[in-house]
Structure 1
Amino acid sequence: MRILHVDNHQHRKYGNIRVSWALKLYTGLVRAGHNVLAFSDRDIARFEAPLGIRELGRKKTNQRLLQTVAAFEPELIIFGHCDLIENATFSEIRRRHGDVVLAACNNDPLFVPRNAANIHKRCEIADAMFVSTGPQELSIFAGGRARLWHMPNPVDPSVENADASALAAGDPALEADLLFCSNAQEHSERSQLVSALRRTLPPDFRFHTPGLFGQPPLWGRDYERKLASSKMGLNLNRQEGYQWYSSARIAQMAGNGLLVFTHASAGFDDFMPAETLVYFDSQSNLQKQLLAFHSDDAMRQHWAKNCREFFHREINNTRYAQYIVEAATGSTFSHDYVWLS
């Protein structure tokens, strides 16, 4: 299938990125056998704008998208967080190319008002809307044109290629016992939990928290190296309690073989096997389990290995991408996707 993928492909980051779900979708589409063209709205806007001022390139970027669709003739357009592209442009694409299918993807949380408003807006024009929160939460967006679907956070075997589960305690390659990376504190109180753990975990427990407490965040290869050298990871979202919602870090940590601790309220045990993710519902419960796995390295390796293998087998970006294509176009599903069971 000919697919145009419209998103922020981060060309102007020049490689200094922290694992992009949009790039995982792009490579997954290619691996699934599709002819895919990337259209990076933010990069094109800066390129087209006077003095490189992105907002001044908005109108030209929408024109360039129309030009690209005319030249490439996609059967499916998948678009993500491309805020510079107006709904009116997608309406014009549909007017000129009546058979094209429009699929919107949103990987941001519903508790951020601006993001929820963006989903509502895109549901007016898209044929299908894919959101990283579970289906129980999506009824607020019903009534628009778009059919509503959940999409998980996938691993990419060429990106999540480390395996910390294979490293035993005491291996000098393991520099951190527990990792939590953060660079966003808006709409969140998670730093309070991290602070409490820092105060109460044993002094010799190596808890690394880049991006917090005055430490700079990690990007690019520095972030990848930190993942590869950590035993366990905290999957703390800015807010908890939304079905199947997680930041993309859950796949980044699980895919690299860290033992992942995540809040029980998200309900990932609906489709995750036993002895993969570790669930907690309070600080005391979390700390108790952290210390238990820290002192039993064989158990830590076993759970982390199980989780890594499950993600790479069932929630990899090739299956994720093909699922989006099949759901958007109304095709028969080619696989028993675990998040649909």
Structure 2
Amino acid sequence: MRILHIDHHQYRKYGHLRVSWARKLYTGLIRAGHNVLAFSDRDVAKFEAPLGIRDLGRKRTNKRLLQTVDAFQPELIIFGHCDLIDNATFTEIRRRHPDVILAGCNNDPLFVPRNAANIKSRCIIADAMFVSTGPRELASFTGNRAKLWHMPNPVDPSEETADASNLEGTDPALHTDLLFCSKSESYTERGKLISKVKAALPTNFRFHTPGMFDQPTLWGRDYERKLAASKMGLNLNRQEGYQWYSSARIAQMAGNGLLIFTNEAAAFDDFMPSETLAYFDDEGALLNSIRKFHHDDAMRRHWAGRCREFFHREINNTLYAQYIVEAATETQFSHDYVWVQ
């Protein structure tokens, strides 16, 4: 299938890439056998704008998208967080190419008002809308053109290449006992939990929190190396309790073989096997679980290995991409996707 993929493809990062679900979708589409063209709205806007001022390139970017669609003639357009592209442009695309299918993807949380409003707006023009929150919360967006679907956070076997579960806890390559990377402080109080956990753990426990407490944030290869050197990771969202919602860090940690602690309120046990994710419901339960896995390295490796294997087998970006194509085009599923229930 001819697919145009609109998102931030990070051309101007010049190799210093952030781990990106959009990049994983793009490579997954190619691995699934599709003819895919990338359109990076933010980069095009910067390139096209007078004096390189991105916000001044919005109008030209929408024109370039129309030009691209006319030339490439995609059968399916998948668009992500491309805020520079106006709904009016998608309406014009549909007018010029009435058979094209429009599929939107949103990997941001619903508790951010701007993001919820963006999903609602895109549902007006899209045929299908894929959101990283589960179907329970997506019911509020029904009633427009788009059919609502959940999408998970996938691993990419070419990006998540390390396997900490293969290494014994005493291996010098593992120089972090517990990892939590974050820089976002809006709509959250998780910093309080991090501070309490830090204070309760022994001083020789290597709990590293890049991006917090005035520590520099890690990107690109620095972040990849940090994941590969960590035994366990915290999957703390800015807010908890949304069905199947998680930051993309869950796939980054799972794919690299870290033992993951995650809040049970997200109900990932709906489709995750037992002895994969370590669930907790409060600070005390989290601390007990951290101590248990820290002192039982065989159990840490067993759970982390099972989780890594499951993600790479069932929640990889090729299956993820093909699911989005099949759901958007209303084609019979070619795989028993674990998140479809």
TM-score range, shorter chain: over 0.9
User: After the TM superposition, which residues 21-60 of structure 1 pair with which residues of structure 2 at under 5 Å, given as runs?
Assistant: 21-60=21-60
User: 1:219 and 2:219 equivalent?
Assistant: yes
| Runs of 4+ with >3 A deviation | none
The alpha-carbon deviation at position 134 of structure 1 amounts to 0.2
Partner residue in 2 for 1:297: 297
Partner residue in 2 for 1:160: 160
Partner residue in 2 for 1:114: 114
AA aligned to 2:23 is L
Give the Cα separation in 2 of the matches to 1:209 and 1:126: 39
User: After the TM superposition, which residues 136-285 of structure 1 pair with which residues of structure 2 at under 5 Å, given as runs?
Assistant: 136-285=136-285
AA aligned to 2:215 is Q
Partner residue in 2 for 1:87: 87
The alpha-carbon deviation at position 13 of structure 1 amounts to 1.3
Partner residue in 1 for 2:99: 99
Give the Cα separation in 2 of the matches to 1:114 and 1:108: 10
Give the Cα separation in 2 of the matches to 1:18 and 1:172: 26
Give the Cα separation in 2 of the matches to 1:187 and 1:293: 30
Give the Cα separation in 1 of the matches to 2:340 and 2:120: 23
Say which SS state the counterpart of residue 224 (structure 1) adopts: helix
Partner residue in 2 for 1:13: 13
Partner residue in 1 for 2:125: 125
Deviation per CA, 1:110-165, whole angstroms, max 9, x where unpaired? 00000000000000000000000000000110111000000000000000000000
Give the Cα separation in 2 of the matches to 1:177 and 1:299: 14
Deviation per CA, 1:16-61, whole angstroms, max 9, x where unpaired? 2221100000000000000000000000000000000011100000
The alpha-carbon deviation at position 203 of structure 1 amounts to 1.4
Worse-superposed segment, 195-204 or 21-30: 195-204
Give the Cα separation in 1 of the matches to 2:177 and 2:49: 47
AA aligned to 1:67 is Q
Give the Cα separation in 1 of the matches to 2:288 and 2:203: 15
The alpha-carbon deviation at position 10 of structure 1 amounts to 1.0
AA aligned to 1:111 is F
AA aligned to 1:63 is K
Deviation per CA, 1:66-96, whole angstroms, max 9, x where unpaired? 0000000000000000000000000000000
Give the Cα separation in 2 of the matches to 1:336 and 1:127: 23
User: After the TM superposition, which residues 56-75 of structure 1 pair with which residues of structure 2 at under 5 Å, given as runs?
Assistant: 56-75=56-75
Q: CA RMSD of the aligned region, Å?
A: 0.5
The alpha-carbon deviation at position 324 of structure 1 amounts to 0.1
AA aligned to 1:155 is V
Give the Cα separation in 2 of the matches to 1:13 and 1:185: 24
The alpha-carbon deviation at position 252 of structure 1 amounts to 0.1
Deviation per CA, 1:229-264, whole angstroms, max 9, x where unpaired? 000000000000000000000000000000000000
Structure 1 segments unaligned to the other structure (5+ residues): none
Give the Cα separation in 2 of the matches to 1:165 and 1:332: 36
Give the Cα separation in 2 of the matches to 1:172 and 1:18: 26
Say which SS state the counterpart of residue 84 (structure 2) adopts: coil
AA aligned to 1:255 is G
Say which SS state the counterpart of residue 177 (structure 1) adopts: strand
Give the Cα separation in 2 of the matches to 1:340 and 1:292: 33
AA aligned to 2:253 is M
Give the Cα separation in 2 of the matches to 1:175 and 1:39: 39
AA aligned to 2:62 is N
Q: Percent identity?
A: 76
Partner residue in 1 for 2:318: 318
AA aligned to 2:13 is K
Deviation per CA, 1:185-230, whole angstroms, max 9, x where unpaired? 1000000000001101011110000000010110000000000000
AA aligned to 2:277 is L
AA aligned to 1:116 is A
Worse-superposed segment, 160-169 or 15-24: 15-24
* Number of equivalences: 341
Give the Cα separation in 2 of the matches to 1:209 and 1:18: 17
AA aligned to 1:301 is R
Give the Cα separation in 2 of the matches to 1:150 and 1:66: 28
Give the Cα separation in 2 of the matches to 1:245 and 1:15: 29
AA aligned to 2:255 is G
Partner residue in 2 for 1:337: 337
